[in-house]
Structure 1
Amino acid sequence: MPELPEVETMRRGILSIIGGKVTDVAKPPCARRPILLAPGIAAFRRRTVDRRVTAIDRVGKRVVIVLEGGDRIVLEPRMTGLVLVADPPTREHLRWEMSLADCGVEKVWFWDRRGLGSVRLFSEREFVAEFSESGKIGPDALVISWQELRDRLAKSRRAVKVALLDQKGVCGVGNLYAAELLHVAKVHPATPCEALSTAAWKRIHAAMVDVLQEAIKYEGSTLGDGTYRNALNKDGGYQNCHRVYGREGELCRTCGKVEVIRIVQAQRATFYCERCQKVTL
């Protein structure tokens, strides 16, 4: 589930390790489905121990730990992964840990209940090839201009909600925030991209930035299953601000006139208000 606001919260939650020296990297015993860990732990340890952390970045829905010399540890939470500096929710789902000195933080953990996430180590050149030159990742949702957003998506015949989930077009937006931002923009989620006007693209872009920044301020959304937690193993707060997501059958919080509707698009649940989000451009 973690999308841009949750992953950005994870990134900010481990900023205190900058300047710290890696003293060990380990793969805790885990009887659950294994995550992707590359390279193997022995090679991982050789390339990271005694290196200092120089920066903490983010690429879309991934936290990036930059080490002196240019190597980068990329932590991808996928559905249920967490990046933590406090005690994890459980020990049985710990997948990776990094011990540090000289920064006030003893360990960074990667915890993943379902085992769909990954921890990968890249050289600087490998990182650029994978995340900049491959075309797999589009511009970040908080950086892209409205013109580029329009130019990258406007020719598509796909529904705008579905197109926003394609990380090649714009990265960081997932199912939850796509529904929320389209509600704020007053755009019906089934509208084909090619049918949207320039004014609609401007509204979508403005809503995307506003919703994501607001969600970051509240440290992301912890849904009913309680899986998402910040780096200190605490709930986010933005779930209390959701306008439509997960509110099927409730009165729309914007208009207060009609109930929120749930439909399925590309095998994902979409929530919207038919009064606020009419099929008009």
Structure 2
Amino acid sequence: MPELPEVETVRRTLEALVLNKKIKKVSVFWPKMVKMPDEVEQFKDALVGQTVVEIGRRGKFLVIYTSEYALVSHLRMEGRYGLFQHDQPVEPHTHVIFEFTDGTELRYKDVRKFGTMHLFAKGEEFSVLPLSQLGPEPFSNEFTIEQLTKKLKSTKRSIKTALLDQKIVVGLGNIYVDEALFRARIHPERMADSLTKKETERLYKEIVDTLSEAVEKGGSTIRSYVNSQGQIGMFQLELFVYGRKGEECKVCATPLEKIVVGGRGTVFCPKCQKRK
């Protein structure tokens, strides 16, 4: 599933591709993808005549702003956007097409059909699900060491499971939780409320630094992720632990191990991340 760095990269490339384009027609070939409004025809009719004025992001969600609406889009596992000319063949698994007046089309492709789209009147998107219960953005002033400490001290879950909770901090998924925990030298099975002040400070720094570096590299292409211009990310070349089970730790050369924490596969270094 695309995490914050990947979604932010998609946001930036979409912004370069579709800003100020006017929607002429909307086609939906998989109606279940549209969660709001209830009627797909309302979704299509509302967007016709609208101009794309901004591409936003909240956690792992894209927010495509038009003149009057906010389209909240979750890519889930395999979702991707691409800009095409109207006469280009439509690829398999393309489920939504936004046709613009200039002859180009923004197409949404999703092999697994897990992606979702919610359309709200602009200004209402943050007051209801799926955005209303999200925690702070890791690059915002709301995400502080004090806030993270309070959240971790109030839960009896493992630190790996806690960091995957989007109510604590948004944008982290399996890749970047594993990476941040390794860089902070914290075992993924440690109880979140057991972290010391220094450990929490270190974890806070590594969450922000890891995500920042991943954004700079265009995200991580592990399976099928590409940005809206069809380019892969490059941060996978920098990964310390994720996807490297059995390989040598880049710091101490100890073989990396994989366990399951909270139902999620988790790779760590048993020497660098000792369980206290």
TM-score (norm 1): 0.89
SS at match of 1:279: coil
In the TM superposition, residue 264 of structure 1 has moved relative to its aligned partner by 0.1
Unpaired segments ≥5 residues, structure 1: none
The percentage of counterpart residues that share the same residue type is 33
Opposite residue 127 of structure 2, the aligned amino acid is A
Aligned to 2:175: 176
CA offset at residue 35 of structure 1? 2.8
SS of equivalent to 1:205: helix
The match for 1:116 is 114
Q: Given the alignment, which residue of 238, 252, 257 partners 2:249? A: 252
Partner of 2:78: 80
CA distance 1:15–1:130, change in 2 (3 Å): same
In the alignment, which residue of structure 2 is the partner of 1:100?
A: 100
Question: Which residue matches 2:20?
Answer: 19
Structure 1 pair 150–65 and aligned structure 2 pair: CA distance change class (3 A): same
Paired AA for residue 24 in structure 1: K
Equivalent-residue separation in structure 2 for 1:133 and 1:63 (angstroms): 11
Change in Cα spacing, 1:91 to 1:165, as seen in structure 2 (3 Å) is same
Q: Out of 80-89 and 266-275, give the one that drifted further.
A: 80-89
Q: Determine the C-alpha separation between the residues in 2 that align with 1:142 and 1:125.
A: 22
Unaligned ranges ≥5, structure 2: none
CA contact (8 A) 2:74 2:115 kept: yes
Summarize the alignment of residues 183-198 of structure 1 with structure 2, pairs less than 5 Å apart: 183-198=182-197
Aligned Cα root-mean-square deviation (Å): 2.3
Cα distance between partner residues in 2 of 1:227 and 1:268:
19
Whether 1:269 and 2:265 are equivalent positions in the alignment is: yes
Q: Is the CA contact (8 Å cut-off) linking 1:24 and 1:98 kept in structure 2?
A: yes
Q: Which residue of 2 aligns with 1:62?
A: 61
Identify the residue that residue 157 of structure 1 maps to in structure 2.
Answer: 156
Change (3 A) 1:89 1:249: farther
How far the C-alpha of 1:234 sits from its partner, in A, is: 2.1
Q: How many residues align?
A: 270
Q: Cα gap change, 1:188/1:57 in structure 2, threshold over 3 Å: closer, same or farther?
A: same
Cα deviations across residues 92-140 of structure 1 (Å, max 9, x unaligned)?
Answer: 21111112246xx822222111111112211135312125984x21111
Looking at structure 1, the residues matched to 182 and 149 of structure 2 have their Cα atoms a distance apart, in angstroms, of: 18
Q: Which residue of 1 aligns with 2:236?
A: 239
Conserved? CA contact 1:157–1:193, under 8 Å:
yes
Asked if structure 2 preserves the Cα contact closer than 8 Å seen for 1:141 and 1:173, the reply is no
Cα distance, 1:20–1:205 mapped onto 2, change above 3 Å: same
Q: Tell me, what secondary structure is at the counterpart of 2:207?
A: helix
Letter in 2 for 1:127: E
Q: Secondary structure at the match of 1:277?
A: coil
Task: Report what 2:4 is aligned to.
Answer: 4
| 2:146 matched residue in structure 1 | 147
Bigger mean CA deviation after superposition, 80-89 or 160-169:
80-89
The change in CA–CA distance for 1:48 and 1:259 in structure 2 (over 3 A counts) is same
What is the distance in 1 between the residues matched to 2:25 and 2:89? 22
